[in-house]
Amino acid sequence: MKRMRFVMIGGFLGAGKTTAIARLAKHYVAAGLKVGVVTNDQAYDLVDTHSLRAQGFRVGEVPGACFCCKFDDLISTASELSKDEVPDVIIAEPVGSCTDLVATVIEPLRALHGERFELAPLAVLLKPEHGQKILRGQAGLGFSAKAAYIFLKQIEEADIVVMNKVDKLTTAEREELLKLLASRWPDKRVLAVSAKQGESFDALIAALGEPGDVHERFMEVDYDVYAQGEAELGWLNCQAKLTASGGELALDVILVRLVTLLRDALSEAGAEPAHLKVLGQIDEDTAIANLVGSGADVELSLASHAKAPVLELIINARVAVAPEELEALVRGVVGKLADEFAATAQIHGMQRFRPGRPVPTHRASASS
């Protein structure tokens, strides 16, 4: 049986996983390889799944919990992607608040399904917007110590730490982050890249092509702290329709305004966004706007230049605030947006919750 190379790109919420996966998938496709992508989240109707499909990739979604807790769904989704033709590469994006992936996903895949999967090293993207504060041990970062624990555990278990978004860092900021990483993990392999602009991305592609190490020792994880850290994040997925009272709505302008209004409302509520992403669609045209932290700029990561009297919106928000408060805030902002653009808003889907305690299907332990 042909083995699929299994490449997993981890990292905190908003670190740039989907951006990196799209660039990586493009590279593999250009090299003549068949690629399948698996996205994963606590919720369904993911901006990432729509975004990767809009870019032409075959994508399967594992919703409802992280890969470690939905291990069998990960396998069945990979099988689904193999139905017509077995992909050469499966690229998997775990939930950005998930850790312990080596013990609960990578080694169980090798042990139980080694005849189907060839494991690449685990790459974990370092999100600079929160990384600087967390690695410095700076107080008042908007997340609790428990959420910072997850961030640090993700880096600790990485075979390759990928300092992403170097295009927006000064030389001094890059050097500081590298120093902070080296002081905590002197032996860690670190790459510095821009998934968005491509800087040094070839080094990551080369590293992911190397054989993955068989891990024999696993980091310790306090599942109580991990669960509490995840549960501090309010998770919200919302689907809405905006209809102009007359004339047309410019999709890109609407998305940027929506994320700006959300940013201002979150800031007023003192709620730190981990990642806020909004996808808008007009027929085949898609646009995406993001916010990755309270101090970050609103970004239109995918522009459409589309206009129409009606548009569909999907809001995925992961924010350090109670889900009920997040819902009230999102409803208020969508109403305000509609007023500003002389439109009517219809919210036709709303899921919001705190992630449940992670209970992995498998967990490898150290061989002695």
Ligand X SMILES: Nc1nc2c(ncn2[C@@H]2O[C@H](COP(=O)(O)OP(=O)(O)OP(=O)(O)O)[C@@H](O)[C@H]2O)c(=O)[nH]1
Positions touching ligand X (CB under 6 A) are 11, 13-19, 48, 96, 164-165, 167-168, 194-196, 275, 290, 292, 299, 301
What does 360 interact with, of ligand X, Mg ion, none (CB < 5 to 8 A by kind)?
Answer: none
Q: Strand 117-119 and strand 89-93: pairing?
A: unpaired
* Residue with Cβ nearer ligand X (11 or 87): 11
Residue 41 is a binding residue for Mg ion (CB under 5 A):
no
Residue 61 is a binding residue for Mg ion (CB under 5 A):
no
Q: In what order do the strands lie in the sheet with 272-282?
A: 299-302, 285-291, 272-282, 310-320, 234-244, 343-353
Can you list the alpha helix ranges (DSSP code H) found in 287-355? 323-340
* Residue with Cβ nearer ligand X (48 or 107): 48
Which of 10, 16, 48, 131 touches Mg ion by CB under 5 A? 48
* CA dist., res. 72 & res. 66, Å (int): 11
What does 59 interact with, of ligand X, Mg ion, none (CB < 5 to 8 A by kind)?
Answer: none
* Residue with Cβ nearer ligand X (102 or 192): 192
Q: Residue written as tokens 């992961």?
A: 318
Residue 18 is a binding residue for Mg ion (CB under 5 A):
yes
**Alpha-carbon distances, residue 298 vs 36, 189, 206, 261, 291 (angstroms):** 30, 31, 32, 10, 5
Nearest approach in angstroms of CB 39 to Mg ion is 7
What does 280 interact with, of ligand X, Mg ion, none (CB < 5 to 8 A by kind)?
Answer: none
* Residue with Cβ nearer ligand X (56 or 247): 56
Stretch binding Mg ion (CB under 5 A), from 44-52, 99-107, 165-173, 287-295: 44-52
Q: What is the DSSP letter of 42?
A: S
| Coil vs helix vs strand at 92 | strand
**Burial level of 362, CB count in 10 A (0-12/13-18/19+)?**
middle
Q: Strand 272-282 and strand 310-320: pairing?
A: antiparallel
* CA dist., res. 141 & res. 228, Å (int): 17
The residue nearest Mg ion at its CB is: 18
* Residue with Cβ nearer ligand X (45 or 362): 45
What does 19 interact with, of Mg ion, ligand X, none (CB < 5 to 8 A by kind)?
Answer: ligand X
Q: Which residues bind Mg ion (CB under 5 A)?
A: 17-18, 48
